[in-house]
Structure 1
């Protein structure tokens, strides 16, 4: 009954099914691995952001990577009191306020480091921010990656003088007369009445849309594999039924031909009252 599976046509169908099923499963497992990798990166970034650890010199953490973002750094330098900035529209624990941003000029002459000294609630007001400490100080805090406008919830354009929308070297290059590090630091202990800004996980490590796309692709590949198996069994069953009907002499039902319009016959007698056709 199943000898037809050895015919050339069915050999092609069988080879296609045998190759398609493992390819779909391998592709699905690869997409699942990508999703699990992003989940692990997200968990690792959260654990790294919450950990304090021993502070390290900033030069050991540069250039910043997803592994070094969130690490504790220790920098010695002098605050530039003439270039203090406010970063409005920043939330903390359900409240909206602003960051107090100051530039720390390292003692070794390296590029200045933007330092978020703390957060204050309400509208941005430079008069509410305490003056930075004078002289050489040592600042300890977590290093953060430069921000992008898509990551910022607050305003980024049209801000008044003395305010900044995005923290990063690209935003500060036109404001400061000296180079700055492409990153920033949030202090571990803020001065009163400011509150310390918590460390955030680096961008690109969270469960974003790309991660859930990988999960969706995983389901699609598994569905393709199941559909291949289903269609193979369906074709085999249909072939068996057709051959069984042929052995029993049962012809498959034929579709009736479409009815065509009948043309009037010329020899049909004319209706009464109408003139006879000419001879």
Structure 2
């Protein structure tokens, strides 16, 4: 009696684990690890900048410091020093008292009188001296200051960032509506080889004929930058998505193989 033939080996479709362990998908996984590592590094970089580990002490801007200790001519004002009270001395350039419009004091629109203060040889800073409710009063105060000549003064005020340049109206190309040392420089006299401070000084005490400029202490900022924390969280999500993408691609390949296997054995 002959022995029965052995039954043919039963075939099974590949498992998801088998597909993922193939060389192709191991290579894709390594690439995803590199991408996720880059995203994780970017997230750590954002997170390190989200928290100020050495914030200025409360009220630091209210402590009067010499101008030269805070910023140098031509340098941008560091963000923590915006509104810092400083003191300096120098001589006014008599021809450079200029009126700026659209200035608000306690919510009331008016005008500033500004001047060029020569704080050292060939070095100047723009100063906002005071506020007036009308142009006529502002121009009268500017004329009175110009009449005093190159007077030596000592000033205390707040350092404030340049407000930027704005195109003047076509009917008055010299009109100014923003406190911009760069714009004022274009109208100043004796500016050859002149070093100018980028921020301007808002004087705490106005001269005769003007009102003190409303210049409150800057708000103390939180040491936590929530926008940077949000960006750090985004990078973490991107890193996780790199692994999900690998899983999704490998699973799609496995599902196609299973479908092809079932069709072949139907």
TM-score by length of 2: 0.63
2:62 is equivalent to residue 52 of structure 1? yes
CA shift, 1:91, in A, is: 2.9
CA shift, 1:198, in A, is: 2.0
Contact 1:74 1:139 in 2 (8 A): yes
Contact 1:52 1:71 in 2 (8 A): yes
Equivalent of residue 187 in structure 1, options 177, 182, 203? 203
Contact 1:117 1:186 in 2 (8 A): yes
**Superposition pairs of residues 1-279 of structure 1, within 5 angstroms:** 1=15, 2-34=17-49, 36=50, 40=52, 51-56=61-66, 58=68, 61-63=71-73, 64-67=75-78, 70-106=83-119, 109-121=121-133, 125-127=137-139, 129=141, 131-132=144-145, 134=148, 135-149=151-165, 156-158=168-170, 160=172, 163-179=175-191, 181-183=196-198, 184-191=200-207, 193-198=210-215, 218=232, 221-238=235-252, 250-251=262-263
CA shift, 1:101, in A, is: 0.9
Over residues 104-129 of structure 1, what are the superposed CA-to-partner deviations in whole Å (9 max), with x where a residue is unaligned? Answer: 344x5443433211123355653563
Greater relative contact order (CA < 8 Å, ≥ 6 in sequence): 2
Contact 1:102 1:116 in 2 (8 A): yes
Aligned length: 233
**Residues of 2 paired with 1:251 and 1:162: CA distance?**
82
**Residues of 1 paired with 2:157 and 2:61: CA distance?**
12
After alignment, is 237-246 or 164-173 more displaced?
237-246
Contact 1:168 1:182 in 2 (8 A): no
Task: Give the unaligned 5+ runs of structure 2.
Answer: 1-14
**Residues of 2 paired with 1:252 and 1:200: CA distance?**
79
Give the SS at the match of 2:263: coil
Q: Aligned Cα RMSD in Å? A: 4.4
